[in-house]
Structure 1
Amino acid sequence: MLTLRSAGPQDAEPIARVYVDAWRSAYPGVVPNEVLVRMSVGAQARQWAFVLRQRGGPQAVIVAEDPEAGIIGMGSCGEVRTTGLPQSGEVYTLYVAPGFEGNGIGSALLLGLFNVLADRGLNSALVWVLGGNPARFFYEAMGGRRVAVRAETLWNKELMQVAYGWDDVRSLPRLGDVRVK
């Protein structure tokens, strides 16, 4: 039985592992290979530990936990960081460990993040996705509509990003079925 819960400092390393493994699985050919090679669970764990020590801070982090496999997905959210768009909340990250995709974990995490945003009074949301990321179709399937496109130079490479938005996260059909402990 999958459990969604708020992450704590003890979760930094498993979150980092999901994050690094998901990047290495999703982004070959999308971001420069040296970026993927240089990623390390240790460095990511330190970054996530810093975020997770700020309980009640601006960024909420949740995990999807399987009783046998442990943490197999993670996501984070908070106030929107992009000006000029009407959305009030933003999904910053959402990753499912390779091998666990296609089982509804991403959907549960997204709905859980929307619940967190709604609980904070942020009733609309967006997520920025790299244009070459096949996961962008997931956001479309979850009811997101394209609200913006931007080019950003990252790692000396211009990358296209697409924002998907939801006007009212409280109105999504299965939102009430997903609770974060």
Structure 2
Amino acid sequence: MSRLIIRRASIMETNELLKMTVNVMKESSMGFVENSESGFHAFIPLLNGGSYYLVSLEGKMLLGWALIGPDFNPLNTVKTGSISSLYVFPAYRQKGIGKKLMQAALNDFKNQGYKKVLLNVFSGNPAKHLYEQLGFRDVSTVMETELLEEVSLEDRYMT
């Protein structure tokens, strides 16, 4: 068995990972986001803004990835990184690969002078336990509502 390697993805690998990321969006968002081509375009600005993929490989076999980079929230008062995506293929889960990817990501951030790292995790995602083990904690709640076309805003919110 080959040893596990975690490294920054090449440009060719990044293009392939973008396609794969689109295909696993529904699973990684616990069903909140559908797999769609528009998801592909959602990640392009992150990559153009300094984000990059870390890949976990055993030989030439891709086991998983993390998409990491700077966070652009103006409320952050210190240099803050963001983990936009963590994915391990089902056959390789529960083997410590996600933890090693996260540790590599945190080391990259630390080496680049980041002081804080955040991530967004959907309700019910089993990876939340891993994030908590690595020191992440709940600091905010994201809420959403759907803007339905058939109901006016006045009827929906003013009654």
Q: TM-score, normalised by structure 1?
A: 0.64
Equivalent AA in structure 1 for residue 52 of structure 2: A
SS in 2 for 1:150: coil
2:29, 2:125 within 8 Å by CA — same for their partners in 1? Answer: yes
- What is the aligned length? 145
CA drift at 1:19 = 2.3
Query: How do residues 6-155 of structure 1 correspond to structure 2 at under 5 angstroms?
Result: 6-16=8-18, 18-27=20-29, 30-31=31-32, 35-36=34-35, 38-39=36-37, 44=40, 58-67=50-59, 70-85=61-76, 88-152=80-144
In structure 2, the partner of 1:2 is: 4
Maintained 8 Å contact 1:22/1:96: no
Higher relative contact order (CA 8 A, sep 6+): 1
* Distance in 1 (alpha carbons) for counterparts of 2:68 and 2:44: 16
Supply the AA of the counterpart residue of 1:89. Answer: G
TM-score (norm 2): 0.72
| RMSD (CA atoms) | 3.1
The amino acid that maps onto 1:123 is: K
- Quick one: distance in 1 between partners of 2:51 and 2:143? 24
Aligned twin of 1:176: none
Write the distance in 2 (CA, Å) between the matches of 1:155 and 1:64.
39
Higher percent of residues as strand = 1
| Matched residue SS, 2:126 | coil
Instruction: In structure 2, give the amino acid aligned to 1:137.
Output: H
* Equivalence for 2:151: none
- Secondary structure of 2:50's partner? coil
1:149 counterpart SS class: coil
The superposition leaves residues 64-115 of structure 1 with CA deviations (integer Å, 9 ceiling, x where unpaired) of 11115x2221112222233334562211211111221111111111111111
AA matched with 1:23: M
Q: Are the counterparts in 2 of residues 15 and 73 from structure 1 also a CA contact under 8 Å?
A: no
User: Cα offset for 1:134?
Assistant: 2.7
- Gaps of at least 5 residues in structure 2 are 149-159
Is contact 1:21–1:97 with CA below 8 Å preserved after alignment?
no
Larger radius of gyration: 2
Give me the whole-angstrom Cα distance separating, in 1, the residues matched to 2:43 and 2:85.
12
How far apart in 1 are the matches of 2:136 and 2:106?
Answer: 12
